[in-house]
Structure 1
Amino acid sequence: MTSNNTQALKAKIREICQEKQAVILAHYYTDGDIQDVADFIGDSLALARKAADTDARVIVMCGVHFMAETCKLLCPDKLVLCPDPEAGCSLADSCRAEDLRKFKEEHPGYTIVSYVNTTAAVKALTDVVVTSGNAERIVSKLPQDAKILFGPDHNLGSYVNAVTGRQMALWNGGCHVHARFSVDAIAALKDKHPGAIVLAHPECKGPVLAAADVIGSTAVLLKYATEHPDATYIVATEAGILYEMKKKCPTTEFIPVPPEITEGAPGCSCNQCEYMKMNTLDKLYACLKNESPAIEIPQDIARDAVKPIIRMLEMS
């Protein structure tokens, strides 16, 4: 697609949004073209809040499927669209509702804290949902004597245990993109760029986080870089965030950490989420035009799944 065609398609998307009273929400990990045309871009927490507050008739979530489900749970009376329903999430896939239900049956009395990167069916079995931006704060507010299962991200759970002093049981799940970052790759970049600040998402492995100068959600990392634009940054998270970082700080050098390639690893051999990249301008335009694919959640699941999300928003 030529640049002129791209701009024309973006203009059509904005026109149809106005016609249909639609709002486009996009995650930082989507392609730059998607971010450009969105009404709002953000991390999972910010997108959830925006969905809950919008008065639009139609919500288009450009992210992955669980994010669109979250929008529908918070806005059951709105039409929620997802440009590609096949845009999944390795984290969400690592925790099945039937497996979590079995854990609860075998471990009565546990408080279930689920990362937002989970299906609606898993959220329906959850006591409170968290994001990478509020997990530490919410876990800290839970009773000190509570028995807690944190899932599905083992790395994020380990990080929260470390900073809160908790001893939560951890589900054995992870993000296939963040799991690829290695200390060796960071060390090699630091040798080439002495004095560079390492930014890392808490979905990374413990040794990577130990090598980081700043640990936080995409929103936290972006805020730090924006407030300190004179530094050089080594960035250990999905590369889509670099687009907004460069927009906010055009003269700042951002260096993405390359992945450690392991045999049999799912997805592409790069520091990008192939599921997020399934959102394209063509698919976005088509879903707006046709008002499809629409997100639908069974009523019995939706009734229970929205409760831990609302609790998260109240505790954040």
Structure 2
Amino acid sequence: MTTDTVITRTETDLGMPDPRHGIPAAYGGVEADVAWAAEIKRLAKARNATILAHNYQLPAIQDIADHVGDSLALSRIAAEVDADEIIFCGVHFMAETAKILSPEKRVLIPDERAGCSLADSITADDLRAWKADYPDALVVSYVNTTAEVKGLTDICCTSSNAVDVVASIDPDREVLFLPDQFLGAHVKRETGRDNIHIWAGECHVHAGINGDELTDQVDSHPDAELFIHPECGCATSALYLAGEGTVPADRVQILSTGGMIDAARATHSKQVLVATEVGMLHQLRKAAPEVDFQAVNSRAACPYMKMITPAALLRCLREGKDEVHVAPDVAERARASVQRMIEIGNPGGGE
């Protein structure tokens, strides 16, 4: 097995990074076969490493991992497991969060170039300038942010507890909510706050799942239930369809990735339309194999998530690359913002 930097046509079709579009070429040339799986397990045991995989990872990466879930849940698992190393198969801010919650452990990401358009939509300097405009406001940051941004945050939140976090704040206190504008709109709608200011960031994959696509899919699948991630551009459209009676309100659920797994196990529907990154379908189908899960947008694949290839994971375990570092003072401040969220009473189901 080699770890040549190549991309096959099949990988590109699956949403793999394509250097022609400004995304770094992923490590390729390795097939996720039985020999690969055995070598991954052998190396992980030799390093006393735990492999964590986000729900949006390639199926082969999800299947080889010790734990699969959303980023915050995985980071909390990382803090609890008896391991010297954490191999985080996800994007960079997720590995940073694991390091924040497990400062004594070595945290590796199989490809440190795996970024996030949402986390990159606001920098620490951006937030400092925004806070200067609203010096008395409390900052609520979605966990999909860099360690430096978390370090400037008062309270973190997840998509499943964002409403509870904002509702816990004095109603007379201004709130700066960042970075996702669609999640922010959902929180504003649910809390009814007029004094919440929302950063205009977005996940380019979720934002691309639009209302017209959702409407077309609903028309084509009239009996399907809808699982909608609040980062999606179609979330407002889903609520509109429910309000108009096009879809019964009890068949529309705005859910985090962790919430989708719970809902999949509980649903009585034969078919579910899913609006989120397509990697989520793998875990949903495992959770409820009798249900027909279909993507609202089958092209909604995050190229950064798909940079964690079988070759990248093999390289990580063989060479000990790439290690994730967070400055101790930044980690301490960021950890406090996550802890404040947990103290509210709903630690959330992650992004």
TM-score by length of 2: 0.83
Distance across 2 between alignment mates of 1:160 and 1:36: 34
Report if the CA contact (8 A) 1:49-1:313 is conserved.
no
1:142 deviates by: 1.8
Q: Which residue of 1 aligns with 2:223?
A: 195
Q: Provide the C-alpha distance between the structure 2 equivalents of 1:280 and 1:83, rounded to a whole number of angstroms.
A: 8
| Shift >6 Å, 4+ stretches | 1-4
Query: Which residue of the partner structure matches residue 299 of structure 1?
Result: 328
From 288, 300, 317, the counterpart of 1:249 = 288
- The residue that corresponds to 1:263 in the other structure is none
Equivalent residues, number: 306
Corresponding position of 1:204: 232
User: Does 2:108 align with 1:69?
Assistant: no
Distance in 2 of aligned mates of 1:235 and 1:35: 19
- Matched residue type, 2:84: R
What TM-score comes out, normalization by structure 1 length? 0.92
Structure 2 matches for 1:85-96, cutoff 5 A? 85-96=112-123
- Within 2, Cα distance between the matches of 1:135 and 1:11? 40
Gaps of 5+ in 2: 1-27, 243-251
Q: Is contact 2:30-2:310 (8 Å) kept? A: no
Q: Equivalent residue for 1:233?
A: 272
The alignment partner of 2:170 has SS state of coil
Q: How many angstroms does 1:5 deviate by?
A: 5.7
Do the aligned residues in 2 keep the contact of 1:229 with 1:249 (CA within 8 Å)? no
CA distance, structure 1, for counterparts of residue 153 and residue 338 of structure 2: 9
Offset of residue 131 of structure 1: 1.0
Q: Is the 8 A contact 1:10 1:281 kept in 2?
A: no
Give the counterpart of 1:127 among 134, 154, 174.
Answer: 154
Q: 1:15 to 1:229 in 2, by over 3 A?
A: farther
3-state SS, counterpart of residue 10 of structure 1: helix
Alignment of 1:1-316 (within 5 A): 6-167=33-194, 168-205=196-233, 206-210=235-239, 211=241, 213-258=252-297, 270-315=299-344, 316=347
Cα deviation for residue 300 of structure 1 reads: 2.9
C-alpha displacement of 1:166 = 2.1
Q: Shift of residue 118 of structure 1?
A: 0.7
Equivalents in 1 of 2:32, 2:332: separation in Å?
A: 43
Residues 202 and 209 of structure 1 are in contact (CA less than 8 Å); yes or no, is this contact kept in structure 2? no
> Offset of 1:285 from its aligned partner?
1.6
- Equivalent position SS for 2:87: strand
| More displaced stretch, 25-34 vs 177-186 | 177-186
Deviation at 1:105, TM superposition (A): 1.8
Code of the aligned partner of 1:198: L
| Distance of aligned partners of 1:274 and 1:208 in 2 relative to their CA distance in 1, 3 Å threshold | farther
Q: Secondary structure at the match of 1:169?
A: strand
Q: Aligned with 2:274: secondary structure?
A: strand
Give the conservation status (yes or no) of the 8 Å contact 2:55–2:69: yes
Aligned residue for 1:177, secondary structure, equals helix
1:106 Cα offset (Å): 2.3
Deviates more, 1:136-145 or 1:273-282: 136-145
Alpha-carbon shift at residue 298 of structure 1 (Å): 2.1
Question: Take 1:55 and 1:5, find their aligned partners in 2: how far apart are those partners?
Answer: 27
Instruction: Give the superposition deviation at 1:221.
Output: 1.5
The range that moved more, 220-229 or 154-163, is 220-229
1:235 counterpart letter in structure 2: V
Correspondence for 2:18: none
> Does the 8 A contact of 2:30 with 2:311 survive in 1?
no
Tell me if the contact between 2:29 and 2:311 (Cα under 8 Å) persists in the aligned partners.
Answer: no
Q: CA deviation at 1:4?
A: 8.1
CA–CA distance in structure 2, aligned partners of residues 179 and 2 of structure 1:
32
